[in-house]
């Protein structure tokens, strides 16, 4: 007991700035490479040897902890070929055991304490969620290369808890349908990074993906289209595409996520991004005209009619079924990119504006959202929407996702409404993560790994009280041009690791150089799990300083990785392992083409980047 008290005092003293991350160089097995970075970590001498006699012991007969123990055993078997038996602990001090237990602590519902010694491993939290996150850290203590019948975990003392309560990632299945199997894998990936919110974008202009019993045409018609635009212009793949999740499959996925302490937040778009529903039920639009499913992307002028009462009857019926499927506190109702052209010309909408004493169509949207918010409260739910729901007046009890920048988040927080920060500049993972000429086709934008890592979710403009309304941060994977699970992996990883550290780790503890060092092991973990991550961070970047006089320049090369082996040429040929090793900036004279790439163990691991200097700038 004295030892525990001493540890807690140590943990909370000096504002917990004693983060002592003692690591060997990457590539050695003595290094500790936990992502996201823990609040407090002290490496000690010695190791715990995991072998075929190791047991996972659970405090009491706690069902949640037993489930966590079995998940840990399954992962250990996959990663190192050892599956410990899971049982009830007679004592938390049994040798050669991994003990999982609950105890009153100061680290909150998701915090944990992890102790690894030569005799045993102890993972404790005040709630099962914390114990689960402790097991994720145990998995990251495993050596990334292993063999034989035993595996050593370094001795450590860790005290950890997340900075934010909302640590989210959104996947858009409306534009591209992903299988139940892949959705489960995606949830596994979230849990691996200690993320706790899966935002499931289920409805869109181009596909309705959730079964609604009362309205079967939503999926029999609205879930299918004749083709898919795969690049700009009229470049269309005319292969039919579609699919939807039955309510039983939704329950299965929600339960799967709950077992990994991930909350699934569904998004049912309104009043815009609803063309698939209008194709299925044209009477819900302002014009009532029949329509066909879309192939090309773009914002549609046809949206739910804000004046027809049957629209609200429809949405209340839909949301009743949705609310029964998802235990999450929030339901996302979209609210973004809803053109008002149809409403301006619609007699029903204009009558609603007049009858309700509204100023204009923006206030009609506020009326629309407020009415939905009021209904969902009867189901014990709160709404969250994109920052357009601020226009015309924010509905009571609504939460805001700030995506067009940070201004919407600032405005909502100052109004004391909950906010999730997800500005497209830093959190849209459909953007290019490397120079476009080195990357597969994407929607646009440029969001490399370092830019994600550098994001700070609490704006400086907010007071301390207002900052308390920032629930957390979220990344978004929009699927206009992401048409396979492998490509979804590519766009998500490794940027989700940077997001996880933004969401979990205290701001003062973040360190870019330390992060990319730990990521060297994380890349290996991705490979072990079959994650098709992007190697864009290994792409060589050019910083070229032209000479003040003449046609020369000085070239600096870098990557977003730790201590890269960069090889380059200045004669336009492809660099090989025997090419010049980059050590420091070098001079070139026009005309000259520099080509460079990153190598590991003598093998090129990414595409060749290039820069050409042609003549003088004058």
- pLDDT for the residue numbered 19: 39
- pLDDT for the residue numbered 185: 98
- pLDDT for the residue numbered 149: 53
Judge contact between 353 and 286, C-beta under 8 A: no
- pLDDT for the residue numbered 617: 52
Q: Decide: residue 178, CB within 10 A, 0-12 exposed, 13-18 middle, 19+ buried.
A: buried
β-pairing verdict for 197-201 and 203-204: unpaired
CA distance 338 to 342: 10
C-alpha pair distances (Å), 46 with each of 29, 49, 154, 157, 519: 13, 10, 6, 12, 24
Mean pLDDT confidence for 123-152:
89
Mean pLDDT confidence for 60-76:
95
Mean pLDDT confidence for 322-331:
98
CA distance 501 to 548: 41
Asked whether residue 60 carries a pLDDT value surpassing 90, the answer given is no
- pLDDT for the residue numbered 532: 97
Of the candidates 262, 138, 132, 290, the one whose C-alpha atom is nearest the C-alpha of residue 200 is 262
Judge contact between 117 and 157, C-beta under 8 A: no
Asked whether residue 316 carries a pLDDT value surpassing 70, the answer given is yes
Asked whether residue 197 carries a pLDDT value surpassing 70, the answer given is yes
| pLDDT tens for each residue of 580-603 | 999 999 999 999 999 999 999 999
Asked whether residue 26 carries a pLDDT value surpassing 90, the answer given is no
Q: How many other C-beta atoms are found inside a 10 Å radius of the C-beta of residue 392?
A: 20
CA distance 561 to 453: 13
> Does the bond joining 271 to the residue before it have cis omega, within 30 degrees of 0?
yes
Mean pLDDT confidence for 415-422:
98
- pLDDT for the residue numbered 614: 87
The DSSP symbol for 554 reads E
Sign of CA dihedral 351, 356, 360, 366: negative
Asked whether residue 427 carries a pLDDT value surpassing 90, the answer given is yes
- State what percent of residues in the chain have pLDDT above 90: 90
Mean pLDDT confidence for 243-272:
98
- pLDDT for the residue numbered 21: 38
Asked whether residue 504 carries a pLDDT value surpassing 70, the answer given is yes
pTM for the model: 0.94
Asked whether residue 407 carries a pLDDT value surpassing 70, the answer given is yes
Q: Would you call 58 helix, strand, or coil by DSSP?
A: strand
Mean pLDDT confidence for 40-67:
95
Phi/psi-derived region of residue 397, left when phi > 0, alpha when psi is between -120 and 50, beta in every other case = left
Asked whether residue 618 carries a pLDDT value surpassing 50, the answer given is no
Work out the mean pLDDT of the chain and round it to a whole number.
93
Residue that is written with structure tokens 């914390």 in the block: 130
Mean pLDDT confidence for 424-452:
97
Among the ranges given (13-17, 205-209, 282-286, 551-555), the one the predictor scored with the smallest mean pLDDT: 13-17
Q: Residue 449: in which H helix or E strand, if any?
A: helix 449-453
CA distance 338 to 362: 10
Q: Would you call 387 helix, strand, or coil by DSSP?
A: helix
Residue that is written with structure tokens 């879309």 in the block: 294
- pLDDT for the residue numbered 146: 60
Q: Residue 401: in which H helix or E strand, if any?
A: strand 399-402
Mean pLDDT confidence for 476-492:
97
| pLDDT tens for each residue of 273-283 | 999 999 999 99
Among the ranges given (138-147, 176-185, 354-363), the one the predictor scored with the smallest mean pLDDT: 138-147
Sign of CA dihedral 501, 505, 506, 508: negative
Q: Would you call 425 helix, strand, or coil by DSSP?
A: helix
CA distance 316 to 423: 30
Instruction: Write the CB contacts of 59 (distance below 8 Å, at least 6 apart in sequence).
Output: 65, 89, 92, 99, 100, 101, 102
Judge contact between 169 and 496, C-beta under 8 A: yes
- pLDDT for the residue numbered 616: 59
Report how far Cα 26 is from the mean position of its chain's Cα atoms.
Answer: 25
Q: Which long-range contacts link 603-608 to residues 24+ away (Cβ below 8 Å)?
A: 603/577, 604/567, 604/575, 604/576, 604/577, 605/535, 605/538, 606/438, 606/535, 606/536, 606/538, 606/539, 606/540, 607/438, 607/539, 608/574, 608/575
Judge contact between 37 and 20, C-beta under 8 A: no
CA distance 48 to 234: 59
| pLDDT tens for each residue of 355-398 | 999 999 999 999 999 999 999 999 999 999 999 999 999 999 99
Q: Residue 191: in which H helix or E strand, if any?
A: helix 180-192
- pLDDT for the residue numbered 15: 38
Instruction: Write the CB contacts of 63 (distance below 8 Å, at least 6 apart in sequence).
Output: none
């Amino acid at each position: 007991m004295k030892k525990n008290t001493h540890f807690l005092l140590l943990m909370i003293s000096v504002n917990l700035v004693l983060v002592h991350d003692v690591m060997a160089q990457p590539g050695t097995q003595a290094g500790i490479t936990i992502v996201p970075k823990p609040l407090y970590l002290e490496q000690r001498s010695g190791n715990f040897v995991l072998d075929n006699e190791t047991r996972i012991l659970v405090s009491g007969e706690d069902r949640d902890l037993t489930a966590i123990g079995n998940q840990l055993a399954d992962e250990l078997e996959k990663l190192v070929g050892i599956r410990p038996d899971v049982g009830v602990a007679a004592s938390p001090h049994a040798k050669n055991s991994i003990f999982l237990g609950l105890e009153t602590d100061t680290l909150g519902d998701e915090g944990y304490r992890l102790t690894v010694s030569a005799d045993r491993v102890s993972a404790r939290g005040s709630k099962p969620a914390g114990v689960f996150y402790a097991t994720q850290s145990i998995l990251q203590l495993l050596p990334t290369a292993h063999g034989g019948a035993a595996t050593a975990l370094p001795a450590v003392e860790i005290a950890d808890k997340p900075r934010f309560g909302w640590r989210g990632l959104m996947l858009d299945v409306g534009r591209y349908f992903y299988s139940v199997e892949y959705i489960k894998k995606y949830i596994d990936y979230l849990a691996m990074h200690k993320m706790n919110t899966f935002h499931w974008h289920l409805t869109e202009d181009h596909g309705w993906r959730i079964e609604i019993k009362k309205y079967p045409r939503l999926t029999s018609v609205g879930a299918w289209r004749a083709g898919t635009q795969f690049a700009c212009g009229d470049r269309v793949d005319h292969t039919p595409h579609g699919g939807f999740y039955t309510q039983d499959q939704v329950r299965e996925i929600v339960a799967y996520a709950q077992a990994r302490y991930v909350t699934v937040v569904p998004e049912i778009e309104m009043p815009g991004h609803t063309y698939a529903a209008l194709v299925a039920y044209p009477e819900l639009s302002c014009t009532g005209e029949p329509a066909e499913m879309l192939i090309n992307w773009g914002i549609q002028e046809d949206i739910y009619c804000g004046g027809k009462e049957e629209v609200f009857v429809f949405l209340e019926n839909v949301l009743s079924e949705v609310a029964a499927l998802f235990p999450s506190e929030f339901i996302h109702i979209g609210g973004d990119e809803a053109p008002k052209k149809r409403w301006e010309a619609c007699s029903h909408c204009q009558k609603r504006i007049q009858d309700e004493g509204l100023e204009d169509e923006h206030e009609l949207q506020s009326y629309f959202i407020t009415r939905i918010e009021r209904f969902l409260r009867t189901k014990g739910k709160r709404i969250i929407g994109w920052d357009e729901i601020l226009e015309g007046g924010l509905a009571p009890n609504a939460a805001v996702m700030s995506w067009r920048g940070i201004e919407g988040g600032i405005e909502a927080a100052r109004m004391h409404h909950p906010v999730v920060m997800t500005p497209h500049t830093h959190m849209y993972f459909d953007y290019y993560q490397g120079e476009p000429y080195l990357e597969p086709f994407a929607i646009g934008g440029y969001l490399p790994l370092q830019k994600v890592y550098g994001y700070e979710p609490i704006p400086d403009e907010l007071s301390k009280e207002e900052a308390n309304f920032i629930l957390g941060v979220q990344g978004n994977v929009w699927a206009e041009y992401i048409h396979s699970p492998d490509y979804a992996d590519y766009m998500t990883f490794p940027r989700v690791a940077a997001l996880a550290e933004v969401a979990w780790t205290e701001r003062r503890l973040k360190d870019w150089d330390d992060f990319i060092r730990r990521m060297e092991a994380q890349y290996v973990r991705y490979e072990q799990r079959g994650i098709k991550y992007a190697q864009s961070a290994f792409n060589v970047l050019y910083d070229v300083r032209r000479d003040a006089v003449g046609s020369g320049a000085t070239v600096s090369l870098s990557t977003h990785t730790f201590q890269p082996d960069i090889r380059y040429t200045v004669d336009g040929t492809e660099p090989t392992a025997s090419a010049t090793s980059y050590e420091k900036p070098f001079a070139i004279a026009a005309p000259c083409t520099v080509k460079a790439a990153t190598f590991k163990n003598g093998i090129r691991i990414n595409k060749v980047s290039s820069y050409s200097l042609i003549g003088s700038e004058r």
